Amino acid sequence: MRRLNYVRAPGYYELSQACRVLVDAFGPRVFLVGSSLHRKDHADVDVRCVLPDDTYRRLFPAGGGPNDPFWSLQAASLSTWLEARSGLPIDFQFQEESAAAREYPGQPRQLLGVFLTPLGASLGR
């Protein structure tokens, strides 16, 4: 059976819990991507917030990416914050929706920070 990802369950749970605040801020646009979806020996855990192009440009008018000081500060700060909450080595980045689709067509993503209760399920014990 193929695994959904290679992040250990406790860290994955804590990461997804920490991403809830990002989902509150940006909507369900926070994803686990990259090597941790495919390999046990991943070096870090890639988390991306994929924003609509107009939102991305409004937040990062200088263009975003590693050469944009504001983008870099946000990415580094959120990486550190998510690491502290999950215990995982996080590489967080904001991405423009069209650029993500163009650069990584067909690449899998796993939604983080959203917890669903099955229909008819009772949370009471």
Q: Burial level of 95, CB count in 10 A (0-12/13-18/19+)? A: buried
Helix (H) / strand (E) containing 94 = strand 90-96
Question: Of 94, 14, 96, 84, nearest to 46 (Cα)?
Answer: 94
DSSP three-state, residue 103: helix
pTM: 0.90
Helix (H) / strand (E) containing 48 = strand 45-51
Q: Return the pLDDT at 2.
A: 75
pLDDT per position as a tens digit, 25-55 = 999 999 999 999 999 999 999 999 999 999 9
Q: Rounded to whole angstroms, how far apart are CA atoms 2 and 114?
A: 22
Residue 18 tokens read as: 């920490």
CA neighbours closer than 13 Å in the CB half-sphere of residue 121 = 5
Residue 101 tokens read as: 């689709």
Q: Burial level of 38, CB count in 10 A (0-12/13-18/19+)? A: middle
Q: Return the pLDDT at 18.
A: 97
Q: Return the pLDDT at 70.
A: 97
Q: Return the pLDDT at 93.
A: 97
Domains of the chain: 9-111 (3.30.460)
pLDDT < 70: residue spans in the chain: 1, 117-125
Q: Return the pLDDT at 122.
A: 62
